[in-house]
Structure formats: structure tokens, C-alpha cells
A and B are shown apart, each in its own frame.
Chain A
Amino acid sequence: MNSLRILTGIGRNGELLLALLRKEFAVRYKQSVVGPLWAFLQPLILMSLFVMIQSFVHFDTGNAPYPIVVYAALLPWTFFASSVNTATGSIVGNAAIIRKIHCPRAAFPLAAILACLVDFLIASVFMAALIAYYGIGLSWRAGLLPLLLLLQLFLVFGLTLLTSSIAAYRRDVLIGMPYLLQFWLFVSPVMYRIEAVPDRWRPLYELNPMAGIIEGYRSILVYDSLPALSSLASAFAVAMLLFAVGLVVFARLEKRFADVV
């Protein structure tokens, strides 16, 4: 199938992904002072903001310290937001290459996502520190975290195959993405827990695949409990659907990238 060829193209050329990843980092931190420390700073700043708001709004924390409740959500959320944002612009951003060299183009959004994944891993160090500080015990359930991460990777890759290829034709997607993500943050259980959402809104709310994923992280990292299957199932369904649609659309639109981008 034509849509799958865009994946095998990347598979055949693993070195390309590595080289693009290296480029992402080299370019990103070339003239930056704190460099990779930004990976901490981004979620840390949001966490401080939410902790401040919580001091007078009083979200229900389920008897856990609020900083860790919010950071466990900010960890996957920051990864999601930054990877969606950069990967959406990856086709437009690499226009100079795309116009000149024939290469598997799906590697561009994927490399952008993987570069953000490295930030995610750096930010995880702070998560570990919080867990140690608050003396939270982790069990075998922590072994499920890679599955959540994998689900999120599929979700982001599928979504950005769609957005990055449309952005090549219409810049509206690029311009609108930060606003969409801002909106998305508030309809995701980041500063509040999913329990705060009224029951009758829950089925609709859980159509947001990040709801299930974020709550999954929080259940495991803060409450040492299993994630709610219903919300995870809907996240899985949405992620797979987006991935399939993303592949088909990307395969169709990439033919004219060099002409339009």
C-alpha cells in the first residue's frame, strides 16, 4: 500500500533519522545559553503557575501533594504540546531540503517528535526527584509507562503526519496550532483531575485522547493505581484512527510538497 511506503522508507534509512535528530539538537541549542535545561524549565514554569492558582482555587488532589499531581500531567502534556507544535512545522521548516533532495519525508515530523522525546526524558528526571521527595512508592505498575509513551507516540505521529502535510499547503495550520494547543490544555486533565469533570460530560471529554493518557500517567506515578481502561481504550481508538488517516493523507499530499512548500 502506498501509505505504508512512507514508513518503510524511514525504516530502510535509519541513519537518516539519527542525522535529522542530531540536526534538530544542534540547531535548537546553537545560540542558547541554558541549552537542554529548557527541557526542565518549560514544565517547571507551568507547574509553578498552576501551584499558585491552586492556592486559591483549591482543586481536589485526592490526598496527594498538588505539585506532583500537576507535574505528572505536565510531563506528558509538555511532550505532547512541543512535539505537535514542532512536528507540524517540520515539512515547512525543511522546505529547502524537500525541494532539492528525494528522501523519505515522513522522517521530518518523526525526527521532530523524537527530539522532543529527549526533552521528555530529561524532564522525567525532575519527576523522579519529586517522587523521591514526596516519598511516593512505585510498584510493578510503573512498567506500564512505556506502553503509555508508545500510545502517545502513535497519537502524535499520526496527528502530525496530518497537520504537517496540510501545513505545507495551507499555513493556517501552523498559525493556528499554538491556539489549538492552548485550548487543548484546558480540555485536558492537567491542572485538574479527570474526576472534576461532570459524569454526563465524561464520554465526550474522553474523546480527547490526551485525557486518557495524562490520567494514565497520573494514576501510575501519583496514586500507584491502574489507569481507567475506558478512557485509555478511547485514547487508543482515536490514536489509531488518527494514525491511519495521517498516513493516507500524508502519502497523498507529499507528492506535491516540492511544488507547494
Chain B
Amino acid sequence: MSSESVIEFSGVGKHYRTGTSNPLRTLFSRSRPPGQTQDLWALRNVSFSVRKGEVYGIIGPNGAGKSTILKLLAGVTTPDGGEIRIAGRIAPLIELGAGFHPDLSGRENVYLNGALMGLSRREIDLRYDEIVAFAELAGFMETPVKHYSSGMFVRLGFSLAVHTDPEILLVDEVLSVGDERFQRKCLRKFLQFREEGKTIVVVSHDLGMVSSICTRMLFLAQGKVVADGSVEGAIGRYLQTMGEGEGVGVLQQGDTTVLFNSGRASIFDRGREITKKLGLYTSILVNGRDLPGSGIWHESTRAVWRCTSIDSRTIRCRGDYISAPLAQEWELALDEHGALKWSVWLEVLRRVSIERRQANVMLSEDYRTWAGGSASGAFPPEFTSRDYHNWEILASPEGSTMTASGRASAPEVQFRTSSSGFAATIVNSNFFFSGRVLMFLDPEAVNLQPGRYPYFSGDLRLNEP
């Protein structure tokens, strides 16, 4: 094992028997070579390694063997071939609320699970208050967990797992449960883990989530490794292999790759993502007392997306908001010079009053300076805003073009709009996103009748540094 690796799979295989087999034969034969009966190979010759401090994502369709890898990592099952080496204490986070007994109270379950994970009673005593506080379950700890809501169940399980002081955290589709606020709390916890140099292995179907938090990724199909390495590479292969049917699409030209995934577009330059988290996205502030979803920002990632027409140069997608009577259509076109043209239309399904709207690109924190019109400045290194929506506005330069520059290797990003009414705005996001945002903001409130409206059009260019 190299000094840096905390997890190493070499040639690991795992098979399950389907149909009935005779357990007595398993008992008395020394090593029955698998494959004679109806064996299902969940993993076949899988090799990869995870270094300390990485957030390692595992993606793949159902039945690809993702959860089997987590089970092997957690040590609940053993491989039928190859070798697995793990250095460090692993928290069992395979599906949350793992070993909870329905008849026991929250407190009893915390102590039981703690003991199962190898903690002493005293060690649990020390963490107990923290576990309860993080799960936000003060006052419910004496209640049998069978009376918990599914959200409470999940919160307690997550809180317990992250408070067992693991060096390696295993995460299986956890962020698809719990409310949005708790999901963000979990993500913040992951980031804290990452900063502490701990290792996280994430399994998910949510490409957006994994691509935003992972540093490296494994793409698995039918128990075999298809791609291992960069996030963009693995997701690119995933999209090519799995078909670009739903809310995903990929464009590539020269050094530039654009990855559209459910309301956000990530941009890669020579395999390195220059955007961050939300990437290219829109956000609409809806007002109106009689409407659902009023008074909150609706990011384009909240919509349910379908790509309707895709060729090698263009992606066209439609996203229906569940949270508001709105839909968006995007067209992304990458020309031969690697410039990305972005056009957005808004479809209004019921009369709405829109207070403000944005079209943004969130860049990585590697970007250090900005320029617009005749003004320019530096991004502060710190992200001071703790509020999810109220970010720190740094400047509102004149004109319809903004640029951001960063480290020597990173291309200069030029973001320009041809729509009127938008004001260029330079923003530092909050602590959670930690991104530099070039924002086109239309602050004018409008009442819109049902119909289809042009929302935004602009382009994004990457210039050699």
C-alpha cells in the first residue's frame, strides 16, 4: 500500500449465489470455485485506491456493484477474490439508521449502536450531547424510534455516524433523504471532514451532488470499472455509456468540456473544473402572496430537467419547477473556438410576479481578481456570509461584460450578456459554496402572464491566461 492510500482494492471480486444452493456443501468443501452454479458476479476484478483526504465518488447504474463496495469497505461481507486493504477507522454509514431497534428509545439505540461500532460507554457519554444536538432531537431521545418520523430516524443515524470519530466515512445515497436544510448541514459536515483530512467514499445516483463534492470518481457498470480518475472523466464516460436521456448532457470542443446536469452546467478546461458546485445556473425570486413558492429564490437546479435535443454542438433542455408554476428552456452551444453560447427562455404557467432574476456562473475559489467596465478588484480570500441566500456583493461594474482571473494555469473567464436589463454584479458566495460568482442581476419586479419569454442570453469564453 502506498503511504498515501487509505483504501486499496486490488482485483477484488464478489459473487452472490442465485437460486438455492446446499449450505452443507458450503460447509464441507474447502474452497468451491465459484461459477459452477448460478453465480452472479457483483464485482469482477475491481481495483482502485483512495488516498487520505479524498472525497471519492462511486457512480453507476442500479446493480453496478456500488453498494457491494461499501459493504466490503464496512467489513460486513468478505470478497471472493483479490485483496482489500484499509487503513483507518471506518464509520458504518451504509444506509442511515443502520442497526436501530424500533422498540428501543433514541438514547438506547445510540448506546447500542455505539457499542456495536466499538465505542465504550464512556466514549459515547462524552459525545452524547453533541449527537443529540446535531440530530436536533432534544426531547425525543426517550421515545422509541418506531414513533420517529423518517426524517428524525435519518438525522439520528447520520449524527451518530459522524460523531464516532471515523477516519473514513462511507456515504450511501444519504443526501436523498432528510429535508433540504439538514442536507446542507450534512454537506457542511462533509466539507469539515474533508478539511480535517478525513476520507469520504460517496455512492450516489445524484450526479450533481457527487460532482460538486467529490475530488475523484469511479464509474462502475455490471461490476466492472469503466472509468477511474477525474470527476469530469468519470461523469463524461457515464453519460456516454448510460445515454443522454434525462436531465444530463455533455459538450466537448478542444480543451473545453461542458457538462449539463439538471439545471447546472459545469465547465472543464483540460480536465480541470473551473466552475464550482452550481456552475452556470439561473435563479428567480418569486413574489405573490397567493402563489406557492413565493418569497424564495428558485435556482434552476430545483427544476426537473429533460434534454429534448442533443447533437455534438448543442444541448437543449427543459426544466419544470416543482416549487413554482414556471419552466425554463436552455440552449447551450459550444462553438469551434470553445466559446459557450447560453440562451434561456422562461415559460410562465400561471400569472406570477417576479421580483428579481439572475443568470450566474459560479467559479472556483481559485479565481482571485475580477474586472468589469473600467473597474477591477480582488476577491477577498474569505467567505464571510453564513446566510444561504444573502451573499456578499463586492461590486456592480458598468457594462455587460465581466471577467475573472485566477492562478497562472487557469484560463480567464469572460461572461457577457446580450440581454438588456441585467446588471453585472461581482459576488462572493457564502461559506457553504465558497465560490466566486459572476452574476447578471435583473432587479426589476415584473408581473408575467402565462406565456413564453426570453429570459437571458449571453456567452462565456475561456481566454488563455
Interface centre among B116, B117, B119 (most CB of A within 10 A): B116
A228 in the interface, Cβ–Cβ < 8 Å? no
Residue numbers in B under 8 Å from A27 (CB-CB): 101, 103-104
Contact for A100 among B26, B95, B103, B121, CB less than 8 A: B95
Assess whether B115 is in contact with A19, with CB atoms less than 8 Å apart.
yes
Asked if B16 is an interface residue, CB under 8 A from chain A, the answer is: yes
In the complex, identify which listed stretch (B73-81, B339-347, B366-374, B454-462) lies at the interface while the others stay far away.
B73-81
Residues of A within 8 A of B119 (CB): 15
Is A253 within 8 A of B26, CB to CB?
yes
> Contact between A102 and B121 (Cβ–Cβ < 8 Å)?
no
Number of A-B contacts (CB under 8 A): 92
Contact yes or no, B92 A100, CB < 8 A: yes
Check A256 for interface membership: any CB of B closer than 8 A.
Answer: yes
Give Cα A13–Cα B108 distance, bound, in whole angstroms: 18
Tell me the residues in window 314-330 of chain B with beta carbons closer than 8 Å to chain A beta carbons: none
Contact of B108 among A18, A22, A100, A259 (CB under 8 A): A22
> In the complex the two chains form, is B116's CB within 8 Å of A16's CB?
yes
A13 to B117 alpha-carbon distance, docked (Å): 10
Contact present for B104 and A26 (CB under 8 Å): yes
Interface: B94 (CB within 8 A): yes
- Asked if A252 contacts B77 (CB within 8 A), the reply is no
Knowing A26-B104, A26-B108, A101-B92, say if A252 contacts B118 (CB, 8 Å). Answer: no
- Counting CB contacts under 8 A, is B23 at the interface? yes
By a CB distance below 8 angstroms, the chain B residues around A13 are 115, 118
Query: A94 contacts which chain B residues (CB < 8 A)?
Result: 99
Chain B residues whose CB sits within 8 angstroms of the CB of A97 once the complex forms: 98-99, 116
Chain A interface, >50% SS class:
helix
Contacts of A253 in B (CB 8 A): 23, 26-27
A18 CA / B71 CA spacing, docked (Å): 26
B120, closest chain A residue (CB): A15
Q: For residue B75, which residues in chain A have a CB less than 8 angstroms away from its CB? A: 102
Confirm or deny: B191 has a beta carbon within 8 angstroms of a beta carbon on chain A. no
Tell me, rounded to whole Å, the shortest Cβ–Cβ distance linking A43 to chain B: 26
Q: Would A20 and B115 count as touching, CB distance under 8 A?
A: yes
For residue A103, which residues in chain B have a CB less than 8 angstroms away from its CB?
116-118
Residues of A within 8 A of B27 (CB): 249, 252-253
Q: A23-B101, A166-B23, A259-B16 are in contact. Are A101 and B115 (CB under 8 A)?
A: no
Q: For the complex, give the distance between the alpha carbons of A97 and B121 in Å.
A: 19
**Known contacts A97-B98, A103-B116; is-contact A23 B77 (Cβ 8 Å):** no
A221 within 8 A of B: no
Instruction: Identify the closest chain B residue to A168 (Cβ).
Output: B23
CB under 8 Å from chain A, chain B span 74-123: 74-78, 90, 92, 94-95, 98-101, 103-104, 108, 111-121
Are B76's CB and A18's CB within 8 A? no
B154-165 interface code vs A (CB 8 A; 1 in, 0 out): 000000000000
Interface range, A side: 20 to 34
CA distance A107 to B59 in the complex (A): 35
Q: How far is the CB of A219 from chain B (nearest CB, A)?
A: 38
Supposing A15-B121, A19-B111, A20-B112 touch, asked if A101 and B99 sit within 8 A by C-beta, the answer is yes
CB contacts (< 8 Å) of A256 on chain B: these are 26, 77-78
CB neighbours (8 Å) of A259 from chain B are 16, 77
- In the bound complex, what is the Cα–Cα distance between A100 and B117 (angstroms)? 10
Contact with B along A77-115 (1 / 0, CB 8 A): 000000000000000001011111111000000000000
* CB neighbours of B26 from chain A (8 A): 169, 252-253, 256
Contact B76 A102 (CB under 8 A): yes
Contact residue among A26, A102, A252 (Cβ-Cβ distance under 8 Å from B103): A26
B172 CB to nearest A CB, Å: 10
Does A30 have its Cβ within 8 Å of any Cβ on chain B? yes
In the complex, the answer to whether B120 meets A255 with C-beta atoms within 8 Å is no
- Are A15 and B115 within 8 A (Cβ)? yes
In residues 1-25 of chain A, which contact B (Cβ within 8 Å)?
A: 13, 15-16, 18-20, 22-23
Q: How distant is the Cα of A16 from the Cα of B112 in the complex, in angstroms?
A: 8
**B117, A101: Cβ atoms under 8 Å?**
yes
Can you list 14 A-B contacts (CB < 8 A)?
Answer: A15-B115, A15-B119, A19-B111, A20-B115, A23-B104, A27-B103, A31-B103, A94-B99, A100-B74, A101-B117, A103-B118, A166-B23, A255-B77, A255-B78
Q: A101-B98, A101-B113, A258-B77 are in contact. List 17 more A-B contacts (CB 8 A).
A: A13-B115, A13-B118, A15-B119, A18-B121, A19-B114, A19-B116, A20-B115, A23-B101, A23-B108, A26-B104, A27-B103, A30-B103, A96-B101, A98-B76, A103-B116, A253-B26, A257-B76
Instruction: Please give the residue numbers on chain A whose beta carbons come within 8 Å of chain B beta carbons, in ascending order.
Output: 13, 15-16, 18-20, 22-23, 26-27, 30-31, 94, 96-103, 166, 169-170, 249, 252-253, 255-259
9 smallest A-B Cβ distances: which pairs?
A102-B75, A19-B115, A100-B98, A97-B99, A169-B23, A258-B76, A258-B77, A101-B92, A255-B78
